[in-house]
């Protein structure tokens, strides 16, 4: 294989490191939904979770392993037999299972966290890899905090891990400490000091504490790394991880410089970004590279003039290349089912008939309120209708009275199966009144920890997107709703979160 044909594998850890983002909590169904989209995206490896961490994480990893085919499914484990056994139990039904085991190798971590000598750490690494390899032929070993480790000791550990059976060696910049040139020198040193690295996959996992995760990942590719570990939208611990969409599009856009390829279906990037943002409740900042709302927007007159004459003057990649439609096809209330289904398919959404019917009904209601329904409205509509858990309660009716001299009052009617439930309540504002009425109807009282509202499109008739987080007995549940009426969107988001809570309670009672 020539240098130009060298393939860089994309290892996605959104479901493991990405879920460590403060405030993010995904249930089993949501993890499977994201994993299926990652399969469509074409990632090589999905790190589905840390099975030993909790029963819920174990169940999610096992569900992904059972239901997703194509990518390698990895489970994380410390260099401890119990962790490795639990990881193997979770992933063993995967089409292509991988055990990913790790131990810290920096002086600081060994002395202060592990309280072990370098020789003890070396022995634990070898024992863990050897045991994992007895269970599966695909074993990845990570030297945690590698960029603050002594290079000579790091080389010893890497060589020993390969000899013990590791097929992938990961060199993580765990705390986002290194700089691109420095990281490249470390990898070059390791390749020279450990010739056996040429026979296995050399991986990197970069954090963004100094804003250099993507830059360090790209420097690693130039230094010979052939697997990049990253997350959708750059989610992750602290400042996050290298953003998959930025790494992939940099490699593609500057293929003249890197001379590598990935297996990513880039047209699925935008949809994947939206799905992850929707399910995690973490919005994408407008000026975010590749997938931000402003990534392909031009306001300067000089820029607009240039783009109208030749898009290449100010666009180094096309919006279509990430799955963002160039044209804004506008649908209205006279548009039929076929037109809507066709446009949704063009946007990357193939919905089951029941879900499509619900979306179509919502589309008609929206079209009655808006003269024009743009692509962004459709995306918000579809994602607002994605039901990640069975809906115990559904919103049927909502009426709110509010004003600067009026006590805000809300009347809410919910449907539970064939039963209709109605209640009224007052509050500090219209949203508070709605939430109090819903609490009375459901009998569920939780703590609302976060409420956010954003407009999906411009104009006075813009669709509002509401995301809420509620907390119950230490668990966090995220809900999302969309409507041109922000009170309705607020109610739908709250019910979405409550339905998740009730579903988890019912699972725990089984």
Whether residue 303 has pLDDT greater than 90? no
The band of 14, judged by pLDDT with boundaries at 50, 70 and 90, is: very high
> The whole model's pTM is what?
0.82
**pLDDT, tens digit, 9 for 90 and up, residues 396-434:** 999 999 988 889 999 999 999 999 999 999 999 999 999
Question: Rounded to the nearest 10 degrees, what angle do helices 430-442 and 486-508 cross at?
Answer: 30
**pLDDT, tens digit, 9 for 90 and up, residues 346-356:** 777 778 888 88
- CA end-to-end span of the chain, whole Å? 54
Lowest mean pLDDT among 151-165, 188-202, 366-380, 419-433: 366-380
Whether residue 139 has pLDDT greater than 90? yes
Whether residue 510 has pLDDT greater than 60? no
Average pLDDT, the chain: 91
User: What is the arithmetic mean of pLDDT over 221-238?
Assistant: 98
Largest Cα separation within the chain, whole Å, is 77
In this prediction, residue 498 carries a pLDDT of: 94
Q: What are phi and psi of 398, to 5 degrees?
A: -150, 130
**pLDDT, tens digit, 9 for 90 and up, residues 460-477:** 777 888 989 999 888 888
Whether residue 1 has pLDDT greater than 50? no
Whether residue 186 has pLDDT greater than 90? yes
CA–CA separation, 23 and 469 (whole Å):
8
**pLDDT, tens digit, 9 for 90 and up, residues 117-137:** 999 999 999 999 999 999 999
Whether residue 276 has pLDDT greater than 50? yes
CA distances from 163 to 80, 126, 388, 504 (A): 18, 8, 44, 44
CA–CA separation, 269 and 248 (whole Å):
10
423 bridge partner residues: 412
User: Which has more confidence, 71 or 332?
Assistant: 71
User: What is the arithmetic mean of pLDDT over 212-240?
Assistant: 98
Whether residue 4 has pLDDT greater than 70? no
CA–CA separation, 348 and 331 (whole Å):
17
The band of 2, judged by pLDDT with boundaries at 50, 70 and 90, is: very low
**Please, are residues 142 and 172 in contact by the beta-carbon 8 Å criterion?**
yes
* Helix (H) or strand (E) run with residue 494 in it: helix 486-508
Q: What is the DSSP string of 48-103?
A: EE-GGG-HHHHHHHHHHHHH--SSEEEEEEESSHHHHHHHHHHHTTSSSEEEEEEE
**pLDDT, tens digit, 9 for 90 and up, residues 52-86:** 999 999 999 999 999 999 999 999 999 999 999 99
Best CA proximity match to 239, nearest among 475, 17, 31? 17
**pLDDT, tens digit, 9 for 90 and up, residues 426-458:** 999 999 999 999 999 999 989 999 999 988 767
CA–CA separation, 456 and 379 (whole Å):
9
Q: Write the DSSP symbol of residue 241.
A: B
The band of 345, judged by pLDDT with boundaries at 50, 70 and 90, is: confident
User: Which has more confidence, 22 or 259?
Assistant: 259
398 bridge partner residues: 412
Q: How many CB atoms lie within 10 A of CB 236?
A: 25
Q: How many CB atoms lie within 10 A of CB 251?
A: 22
CA distances from 234 to 4, 167, 479 (A): 27, 26, 21
């Amino acid at each position: 294989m020539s240098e130009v044909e060298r393939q860089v594998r994309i290892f996605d850890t959104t479901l493991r490191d990405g879920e460590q983002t403060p405030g993010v909590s995904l249930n089993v169904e949501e993890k499977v939904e994201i994993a299926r989209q990652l399969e469509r995206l074409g990632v090589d490896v999905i790190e589905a979770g840390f099975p030993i961490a909790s029963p819920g994480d174990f169940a999610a990893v096992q569900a992904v392993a059972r239901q997703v085919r194509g990518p390698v499914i990895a489970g994380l484990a410390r260099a401890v037999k119990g962790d490795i056994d639990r990881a193997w139990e979770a992933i063993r039904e995967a089409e292509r299972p991988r055990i990913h085991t790790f131990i810290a190798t920096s002086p600081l971590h060994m002395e202060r966290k592990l309280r072990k000598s370098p020789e003890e750490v070396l022995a634990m690494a070898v024992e863990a890899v050897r045991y994992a390899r007895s269970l599966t032929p695909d074993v990845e070993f990570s030297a945690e905090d590698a960029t603050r480790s002594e290079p000579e000791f790091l080389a010893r550990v890497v060589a020993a891990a390969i000899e013990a059976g590791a097929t992938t060696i990961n060199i993580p910049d765990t705390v986002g400490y290194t700089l691109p040139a420095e990281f490249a020198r470390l990898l070059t040193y390791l390749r020279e000091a450990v010739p056996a690295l040429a026979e296995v996959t050399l991986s990197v996992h970069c954090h963004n504490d100094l804003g250099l995760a993507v830059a360090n990942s790209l420097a690693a590719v130039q230094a010979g790394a052939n697997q990049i570990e990253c997350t959708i939208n750059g989610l992750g611990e602290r400042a996050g991880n290298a953003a998959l969409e930025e790494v992939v599009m940099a490699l593609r856009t500057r293929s003249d410089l890197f001379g590598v390829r990935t297996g990513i279906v880039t047209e699925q990037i935008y949809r994947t970004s939206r799905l992850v943002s929707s399910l995690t409740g973490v919005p994408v900042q407008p000026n975010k590279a590749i997938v931000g709302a402003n990534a392909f927007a031009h306001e300067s007159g000089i820029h607009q003039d240039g783009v109208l004459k030749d898009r290449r003057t100010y666009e180094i990649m096309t919006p279509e290349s990430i799955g963002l439609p160039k044209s804004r096809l506008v649908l209205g209330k006279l548009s039929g089912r076929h037109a809507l289904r066709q446009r949704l398919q063009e946007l990357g959404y193939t919905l089951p008939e029941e879900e499509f019917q619900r979306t179509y009904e919502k589309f008609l209601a929206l079209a009655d309120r808006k003269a024009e329904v743009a692509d962004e409205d459709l995306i918000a509509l579809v994602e607002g209708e994605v039901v990640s858990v069975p809906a115990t309660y559904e919103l049927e009716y909502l009426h709110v009275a509010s004003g600067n001299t009026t006590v805000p009052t809300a009347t809410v009617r919910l449907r539970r199966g064939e039963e209709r439930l109605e209640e009224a309540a007052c509050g500090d504002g219209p949203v508070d009144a709605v939430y109090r009425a819903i609490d009375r109807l459901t009998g569920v009282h939780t703590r609302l920890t976060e409420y956010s509202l954003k407009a999906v499109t411009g104009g006075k008739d813009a669709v509002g997107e509401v995301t809420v987080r509620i907390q119950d007995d230490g668990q966090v549940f995220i809900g999302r709703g969309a409507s041109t009426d922000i009170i309705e969107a607020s109610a739908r988001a709250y019910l979405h979160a409550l339905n998740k809570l009730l579903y988890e309670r019912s699972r725990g009672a089984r």
